Structure 1
Amino acid sequence: MAGEAVAHAAEVAHGTVDLVPVVALLAAGVIAVPIFKRIGLGSVLGYLAAGLLLGPSGIGLISDPSSVLHLAELGVVMFLFIIGLEMEPSRLWALRKQIFGLGVIQVVSCGALLTLVGVALGFAPAVAFIFGMGFVLTSTAIVMQILGERGELSSEGGQKIVSVLLLEDLAIVPLLAVVALLAPAAEDQSIFTRVIGFAGALGAILLLIVLGRRVMNPFFALLASAKVREVMTAAALLVVLGAALLFQVSGLSMAMGAFLAGVLLSTSTFRHQLEADVEPFRGLLLGLFFLAVGMSLDLHTVAQSWQVIAISVVAFMLVKGVAIYVIARLLRSDHGEALERAVLMGQGGEFAFVLYTTAVSAGIIDGPTNAIFTATVIISMVLTPFALIVMRRFMPKRVESMDGVEEADGLTGRVLIIGFGRFGQIASQPLLALRHSVSIIDNDTDMIRAAAQIGFKVYYGDGTRLDILRAAGAHTADLILICTDDRAQTTRIAELLRDEFPLARVMARAFDRSHGIELLQTGVEFQVRETFESAVLFGGTAISMLGSSEDETAEVLEGVRDRDRQRFELQLGGEDWRNLSRLLISNAQEQARESGINISEDSAEAAVARSAPATSP
């Protein structure tokens, strides 16, 4: 009887919700995305490949990709809402020249050229325009990932690329409006009907602006006072989906409505709360959108039209790349920067799928044509990482500009500081305040030029090179401070100083406890973890604010430091620690004698214990 009940329940559950496609989609994304990211092809291509595998052109587990795509379009809606939240007027104004200068020039020029290429390939002008403009929209996901991995997001060249990407993200909004205008109108649609439709669209925009400026902030303030987190999340979704629905029933794009709602809330005090609430839904549904695009790719159509796709990929990437290179050179970028930007941005992007899908819904292009367009963009995205590898292999290494930068040569400072980042800048201030003779080297030319503007003289030099250390005066310096922020680099410099300048007194910035032990074993006399003292001070201030007296706070902090020293000694090891202690005690006694002071070994040992380096857990 119980078995029959269980079987019946399972049958009912199976009849109510078919979990197989849901589990398959989740599993495909969870497996494919990490693999594609690990091999350097990005998460977008992972989703597309997983969708292709599950769709009709793959194993056919999901036979109706359009049903998934309709739901997944909400991911694009939420993505544009978050982009709108980031469009603060102040940010746009700060980057106005690059966004509305370089960005507009690149998008308009490339769009015009690619539209002509589409016409030359035999497509109707309206279809060629959609094809070309979709390809103009570079993959933000791929480019941002590559720039982030290379640490170039904040560089001058990286900022230019980010500005163009920002303009391209903005461009999708008017492009969706253009698609709506290009959509074939019904034959029985009168002029009066069109005027009513236009008025309704204008009314929807004005209504959303009024609601965004007058109603949404008080609305969220009222909900926040209830202090119920799920209600705030529901309200955030209500704003996004409500704006999308308002624009949809008015004949406009859902994504445009969400974007405008985001812009209106970009200066709201609830902006970060809204972003945090929407982000999980955005990420999941946007991933589902890319899965649905992959499922929608018809390999049979692609196989029949492979010549058109191959020509389109080569022609579009070549024309777009050349246009980007020429524009960059005309705007005074050097050859290396212009070439890298052309290769990096010569691909299509994920917003092309949004544009093409919208064009299919509007009746401008059909399914087979969409398959050709989508395949062209996907192949260009796949080729980009490989094109970058080829470019780096054959292009000469970029020579860093040395304008305003002086190389280290013949320096004779009493103190040598290697690395002038945040840590080195602070460490140098007591030395400079007491007018010690200080020489500073760093291998970041941008930082050197920035330091010169605020009165610091920093020389160019790589501390991991022995010849540079000699030129910087390491052989004559009384004290050497290694303030670099790279663990391996710091250890390498310490090893060089130990082997070549054994008499030099060396202090070093450690990354963590194990790195501190490694540095001491390398011969560094004093090391301190980069965050230890600031964290101790932070905790001390916290207990003071909670009512601890000054003496109690000092006692607690000394206890923290003492326990840390004890853990450090245990980890360093018995004999190593004893040998190191003897060396430090001997140095302390010698330093005291040079100052005309005689101290006992016990006093020196106590002094060493008090100055023992703080290291991290």
Structure 2
Amino acid sequence: MHSLVFEDLLVMMAAALVAALLLRRLGLPNILSYLLAGCVIGPHVTGWVGEPESFAFVAEFGVVLLLFSIGLEFSLSRLLALRGSVFGVGGFQVVLCALLFGAAVYLWGTTVQAAVVIAGALALSSTAIVIRELSSLGQLHQRHGQLAVGVLLFQDLAAIIFLILVPVLAGAEEGGLASEIATALLRGAVLFAILMSVGKWLLPPLYREIARAHSEEIFVISTLVIVLLAAWLTHGFGLSMALGGFVIGMMLGESSFRHQIDSDIRGFKDILLALFFITIGMDIQVDLLLDYWPRLLLFAALLMLVKTALIALVVGLTGEDRYTALRCGLNLAQSGEFAIALLALGQLSGVVPADHASFIVLVAILTMAVSPLLLRYSERITPWLLHTLGVAPPVAAGIPREAEIHQGGHVIVGGYGRIGRVLAGLLEENQVPYIAIDNNVAVVDRARAEGRNVLFGDSANLQILRSCHIDSALLAVLTFRSLEQARAMIAQMRSVGINTPVIVRCHEQGHVRELLSLGANRVVPEMQEASLAIGAQMLELLDVDHSVIRQQLEARREHHGDVS
């Protein structure tokens, strides 16, 4: 038995690897690769893995981690800053789409309970795809991008409601459905208050103590235990375990430890999420695709058309021009990863029949596959659609790309010691935004108490730098403990296409030319510069001519390879 499980696991991971490598060339997200791999190896195609139910626990835990990761990306401060688009546009969009899609699938022949779950799944969009594409295109701070982010934030809030409803719908009779839902919402509110209190008062000091251990293993284990405890607590309240993961992710997403948490558990999380989406793919009844592919394509097209139209209508009612409204609609036209997770929960709970879940998942996959293209070419598609509808595009649509709002524009300061504080002070005096990173929790706490933008993390970790948007930063000043670490980090940054100018500060000296050849723009050997500064002061007190001092210092910099 153990041998069979091991072989199935090997087949699943190998299939995921092959699919990800192939679909990556097409620019499609890994989620689709894993779903495709699951379809191929599942019992409905090759049968290489004949019993997907053996991995049901992995699937459920994968949902918890998926919602935890979505929660980490949730931002209460951004929600308040965008409250107009969040509660106005987002609220109307979710309600209208849910009512329309719920009525449609109920007439299709589902139960009321299944209609609620499916409507919730279809009303929400893909946060991962939209944020990634808008960020890479430099459109997050354009008006249509801000509106899209606001709607996605409300969708994250709506996700909490749907997560509360799934287990209730599984056990409720239609006659007492209203009272069951009211009771569940009350339990959810109590649970939310408990987890909010834990996240605000208990987790910060706990993570400060964990951070002092300076151990990635302890960080990973601690985070997993916290997520599992939250899932266990929500399960004890009779609610979905995924709800606990999402709420605790929201709480940790507001802390200074967020980036380090995300970085430390990313590998573990990604593997489990890959297994989760593979198990979902194995449950997809592929014969539906073969028998009903015209209907699937039609449903996918209708879903994207209706969502685009409804979102554009709601945005237009807020006073935005038609161009912005339509681009926002195109941004959010797809279904998303939450739809797949919600349908998986619905199927595991017995609320949504397997064939219905498979059909809707296939529709969601088709919309997610098309979505990156819609996002990338919405600037061209929108004027064409407006012209087709007989509407003249506004003047704002013709603004050239170089006049668009510049993304990033900040400086990353790695290390917030004495030098880091000086650099941050200079940046503040010159009104240049910055993000400082330090792995000393006491330093971070003091700096944040003073109102400084300092986060906990290791600046020698590429994932931490990515979470600080190094791709769009003006400059990064990074401190490394050793030359080996500096070499590895600079080489890794340049190999993945990060072209941000970097000033490297090393405690050691030597090999400066090598770091410059790897891609560093400036290199400052800390000990050497300190000794040269002391030497300059010494020679001045000895009345040596300033020009002679300058020549001698430059000669020593050249001798040690500091040609920056």
Q: TM-score range by the shorter chain?
A: 0.5 to 0.7
Quick check: 308-317 or 134-143, which moved more?
308-317
Paired residue for 2:534, among 549, 565, 576? 549
Matched, 1:365 2:352: yes
Q: Deviations over 1:497-539 (max 9, x none)?
A: xxxxxxxxxxxxx999xxxxxxxxxxxxxxx99x977x34xx2
Which aligned pairs between 1:550-569 and structure 2 lie closer than 5 A?
551=536, 558-559=554-555, 562=558
Aligned to 1:20: 7
Cα distance change, pair 261–359 in 1 and its aligned pair in 2 (3 A): same
Preserved contact between residue 74 and residue 156 of structure 2 (Cα < 8 Å): no
When residues 303 and 264 of structure 1 are mapped into structure 2, their CA distance, relative to the original with a 3 A threshold, is same
- 1:71 corresponds to: 58
2:274 matched residue in structure 1:
287
8 Å CA contact 1:173–1:255 kept in 2: the answer is no
Amino acid at match of 1:254: M
The 1:547/1:65 distance shift into structure 2, 3 A limit, reads farther
Counterpart mapping for 1:131-530 below 5 A = 131-185=118-172, 207-306=194-293, 309-385=296-372, 396=383, 401=396
Give the whole-Å Cα distance in 2 for the aligned partners of 1:303 and 1:148: 36
* Structure 1 residue 43 corresponds to structure 2 residue 34: no
Q: Which residue of 2 aligns with 1:123?
A: 110
Q: Do the aligned partners of 2:90 and 2:154 also contact (CA within 8 Å) in 1? A: yes
How high is the TM-score relative to the length of structure 2? 0.66
Q: CA 1:152/1:555 → structure 2, altered by over 3 Å: closer, same or farther?
A: farther
Change over 3 Å in CA distance of 1:127–1:404 after alignment to 2: closer
Query: Counterparts of 2:162 and 2:340 in 1: how far apart (Å)?
Result: 13
Query: Which amino acid letter does the alignment assign opposite residue 152 of structure 2?
Result: L
Whether the 8 Å contact between 2:79 and 2:150 is mirrored in structure 1 is no
Tell me how far 1:252 sits from its aligned partner.
Answer: 1.0
8 Å CA contact 2:321, 2:394 repeated in 1: no
Q: Which amino acid aligns with 1:152?
A: Q
Q: Is the 8 A contact 1:117 1:315 kept in 2?
A: no
Give the alignment's Cα RMSD to 1 decimal. Answer: 4.5
For normalisation by structure 1, the TM-score amounts to 0.60
Q: Which amino acid aligns with 1:114?
A: F
* CA positional deviation for 1:385: 4.4
> For 1:546 and 1:236, how far apart are their aligned partners in 2?
43
Q: Is the CA contact (8 Å cut-off) linking 1:75 and 1:284 kept in structure 2?
A: no
Structure 2 residue aligned with 1:54, among 19, 22, 41?
A: 41
| Residues 223/146 of structure 1: CA separation in 2 closer, same or farther (3 Å cut) | closer
Paired letter, 1:58: V
Q: Separation in 2 of the partners of 1:532 and 1:274?
A: 28
One-letter code aligned to 1:72? A
Higher deviation after alignment, 389-398 or 22-31: 389-398
* 1:13-62 deviation digits (Å, cap 9, x = unpaired): x9557533223222222222233232133222222111111112222111
State which structure, 1 or 2, has the greater radius of gyration over its C-alpha atoms.
Answer: 1
Deviations 1:180-231 (A, max 9, x none): 33223389x9xx9999999987775565455444433343344444444422
What's the offset of the Cα at 1:175? 0.8
Distance 1:181 1:193, change over 3 A: closer
Counterparts of 2:317 and 2:182 in 1: how far apart (Å)?
44
Quote the sequence identity (%): 30
What residue ranges of structure 2 are gaps of 5+ in the alignment?
385-392, 411-431, 433-473, 475-498, 502-515, 538-548
Report which stretch shifted further, 297-306 or 239-248: 297-306
Relative to structure 1, is the Cα distance of residues 205 and 133 closer, same or farther in structure 2, using a 3 angstrom cutoff? closer
Partners of 1:250 and 1:238 in 2: CA distance: 18
Structure 1 residues 138, 541: closer, same or farther in 2, change over 3 A? same
Residue 543 and residue 68 in structure 1: after superposition, are their counterparts in 2 closer, same or farther (change >3 A)? Answer: farther
**CA separation in 2, counterparts of 1:346 and 1:261?**
28
Equivalent position amino acid for 1:558 in 2: E
CA contact (8 A) 1:324 1:342 kept: yes
| Residue-by-residue CA offset, 1:78-133 (whole Å, 9 max, x unaligned) | 23223334445433322222222222222222222222332343434433332222
Aligned letter for 1:105? F
Q: Distance in 1 between matches of 2:96 and 2:553?
A: 62
Aligned pair count? 439
Give the deviation of 1:239 after TM superposition.
Answer: 0.3
Secondary structure class of the residue paired with 1:549: helix
1:281-300 deviation per Cα after TM superposition (whole angstroms, max 9, x unaligned): 22222222222221111112
Shift of 1:352: 0.7
Going from structure 1 to structure 2, the CA distance change for 1:109 and 1:546 (only over 3 Å counts) comes to farther
Equivalent position of 2:20 in the other structure: 33
1:435-483: CA deviation from partner (whole Å, max 9, x where unpaired): xxxxxxxxxxxxxxxx9xxxxxxxxxxxxxxxxxxxxxxxxxxxxxxxx
Separation in 2 of the partners of 1:175 and 1:348?
15
Give the Cα separation in 2 of the matches to 1:50 and 1:21.
Answer: 13
Q: Is the 8 A contact 1:99 1:166 kept in 2?
A: yes
1:610 aligns to what? none
Pair 338,75 (structure 1): closer, same or farther in 2 beyond 3 Å: same
Q: After superposition, give the CA deviation of every residue in 1:134-192 in whole Å (9 maximum; x if it has no partner).
A: 112112232233323322223332222122223223322211112233223389x9xx9
Q: Does 1:107 align with 2:94?
A: yes
For 1:197 and 1:385, the matched residues in 2 are separated by 37
Deviations 1:480-505 (A, max 9, x none): xxxxx9xxxxxxxxxxxxxxxxxxxx
Query: Equivalents in 2 of 1:339, 1:221: separation in Å?
Result: 46
Q: Check conservation: 1:360, 1:366, Cα contact below 8 A.
A: yes
Are the structure 2 counterparts of residues 272 and 20 from structure 1 closer, same or farther at C-alpha, using a change threshold of 3 Å?
Answer: same
Q: Which amino acid is the alignment partner of residue 223 of structure 2?
A: A
**1:244–1:258 contact (8 Å) kept in structure 2:** yes
